[in-house]
A and B are shown apart, each in its own frame.
Chain A
Amino acid sequence: MRRPIRAPRLAALAAAGALLAAVGTPLTAQAADTAAARPDTATTASDATAGFATPRTAADTGGGAGLSGAALDAETAQVAAQLRCPVCRGQSVLESTATLSKEIQAEIKQRLASGQSPEAVKAYFVSRYGEWILLKPPTHGFSLLVWVLPVVLLVGGLGVAWLWIRSRSGEADAGTEGDPTPAGGPAGTAQAGLSDEERSWLDRAMRND
């Protein structure tokens, strides 16, 4: 008598799957966008590598092309806030007072002043320290899991909870519907499913005999 319950359960699974697909789609689309933008960042990364051979000369000659003054400071802070301090725990280069963080800030500033874009500067640090250096994991490749997994677990958990509730109420329904005693039995519909003996016991209990 439990077979009929399977249909709603399948429907629930399908609903959960659809929800997952809906959640996954924008993220995947975003990943594709990022991937499309990658050749650009790759070029800038190699530019950065080439520029590294003569860091001081790059700063000297490129001074005119980049930012300066307050705009440079603001942009430096913005990039520094997105980079992880390599010798701290969970702090950005901007927040950290470690010497290495100060030196990284100086490097960021110099690169921005020489005309590199914030994206190129970040790409340079990623090319040296790996994606680990980015406080916010990228939304492509393996790191995409970090973004998707919590949503998957949440939706999956809700799905399981819902299935569990459904199956419990389903069992109760099945218990009622599946009883061979006709609903309009001698003692009325409210106590359907009880034998005469049980019904009289229940009546006595209700009357507090």
Chain B
Amino acid sequence: MKRWKVWLMLVLAAGFLGLLGFGLTRDAQVLPSAIIGQDAPSFDLETLTGDSISLASLEGHVVILNFWASWCIPCREEHPVLEMAAARYKDHDVRMLGVVYQDNRTNARQFLARNGGSWPSVLDPNSQVAIGYGVYGVPETFFLDPHGRIVKKHVGPVPWDYLTTTVDSLLVANGKTPGGSEITGAEAPAESGAP
């Protein structure tokens, strides 16, 4: 008589526990993105120095596409990681490109003058490119393979380990030399300062 009640309770409890487990094991930082695995939306934008860069011109390289802004505090935390990445992949088939999000040229240039950064950044008026990439806020970093496909996306300051693992595996997967293989000596101090 009571057996069905017991089973019902068990099934309900298992269901709720399952949902709870599903919710707790998910990373709250990971936001849904429909764009992973798709071809990166192309663009041709003006850099902070007045030149222009198209995404198509970077084809054949692994691309680290970083959306940032001078007003964004987490971007300041993230900046040293990007600088270390620029040093690590200086002689590799990797190109880094910043996209300035909801910001102006003057402020963005001041940020770079103060914090350093040798890679180019482009201006994105009206955030059309950011919307095209489904950006929620800054910083957000996209990793593109040499064919221009979006392989990964990271929301928030990108951790050093995440960045190097992703880029190195993309380099290896495309028959290229991973970072750190021949410049270990120069890189050792930088890596010890990783957050």
Q: Number of residues in B with C-beta < 8 Å to the partner?
A: 24
Say yes or no: B102 contacts A128, CB within 8 Å. Answer: no
Distance between B136 CB and nearest chain A CB, rounded to angstroms: 5
Say yes or no: B102 contacts A100, CB within 8 Å. Answer: yes
Distance between B34 CB and nearest chain A CB, rounded to angstroms: 4
Say yes or no: A130 contacts B34, CB within 8 Å. Answer: yes
Distance between A103 CB and nearest chain B CB, rounded to angstroms: 4
Say yes or no: B1 contacts A2, CB within 8 Å. Answer: yes
Say yes or no: A106 contacts B136, CB within 8 Å. Answer: no
Contact partners of B172 in chain A: CB under 8 A? none
Contact flags B126-162 to A (C-beta < 8 A → 1, else 0): 1110111111110000000000000000000000000
Q: Determine if A25 is an interface residue (Cβ-Cβ < 8 Å).
A: no
Say yes or no: B33 contacts A130, CB within 8 Å. Answer: yes
Distance between A95 CB and nearest chain B CB, rounded to angstroms: 17
- The 8 Å CB contact of B137, one of A87, A104, A107, A131, is A87
Q: Determine if A53 is an interface residue (Cβ-Cβ < 8 Å).
A: yes
Q: Determine if A99 is an interface residue (Cβ-Cβ < 8 Å).
A: yes
Q: Which of A109-142 contact B (CB under 8 A)?
A: 125-132
Contact partners of A87 in chain B: CB under 8 A? 136-137
Q: Whole-angstrom distance between the alpha carbons of A160 and B8 in the complex?
A: 10
Q: Number of residues in A with C-beta < 8 Å to the partner?
A: 22
Say yes or no: B42 contacts A107, CB within 8 Å. Answer: no
Say yes or no: A100 contacts B34, CB within 8 Å. Answer: no
Q: Which of B86-136 contact A (CB under 8 A)?
A: 102, 126-128, 130-136
Distance between B8 CB and nearest chain A CB, rounded to angstroms: 7
Contact partners of B31 in chain A: CB under 8 A? 132
Q: Determine if B21 is an interface residue (Cβ-Cβ < 8 Å).
A: no
Contact partners of A129 in chain B: CB under 8 A? 32-34, 134
Identity of the chain B residue whose Cβ is nearest the Cβ of A160 in the assembled complex:
B8
B41, B126, B131, B137: most-surrounded residue (chain A CB, <10 A): B131
Contact flags A173-187 to B (C-beta < 8 A → 1, else 0): 000000000000000
Say yes or no: B8 contacts A107, CB within 8 Å. Answer: no
Q: Whole-angstrom distance between the alpha carbons of A103 and B130 in the complex?
A: 10
- The 8 Å CB contact of A55, one of B1, B32, B128, B134, is B128
- The 8 Å CB contact of B128, one of A49, A86, A107, is A107
Q: Determine if A52 is an interface residue (Cβ-Cβ < 8 Å).
A: yes
Contact partners of A126 in chain B: CB under 8 A? 34
Q: Determine if B48 is an interface residue (Cβ-Cβ < 8 Å).
A: no
Distance between A131 CB and nearest chain B CB, rounded to angstroms: 8
Q: Whole-angstrom distance between the alpha carbons of A128 and B41 in the complex?
A: 10
Quick one: given A103-B127, A160-B8, are A53 and B42 in contact (CB under 8 Å)? yes
Identity of the chain B residue whose Cβ is nearest the Cβ of A126 in the assembled complex:
B34
Say yes or no: A86 contacts B136, CB within 8 Å. Answer: yes
Say yes or no: B34 contacts A127, CB within 8 Å. Answer: yes
Say yes or no: B34 contacts A128, CB within 8 Å. Answer: yes
Q: Determine if B163 is an interface residue (Cβ-Cβ < 8 Å).
A: no
- The 8 Å CB contact of B127, one of A100, A127, A132, is A100
Contacts beyond the supplied A86-B136, A100-B137, A131-B34: 6 A-B pairs with Cβ under 8 Å: A52-B42, A100-B102, A127-B35, A127-B38, A128-B34, A129-B34
A-B contact pairs, 16 of them (CB 8 A): A2-B1, A55-B128, A55-B132, A87-B136, A99-B102, A100-B137, A103-B131, A107-B131, A127-B35, A128-B131, A128-B133, A130-B32, A130-B33, A130-B34, A131-B34, A160-B8
The residues of B with any CB-CB pair to A shorter than 8 Å are 1, 8, 31-35, 38-39, 41-43, 102, 126-128, 130-137
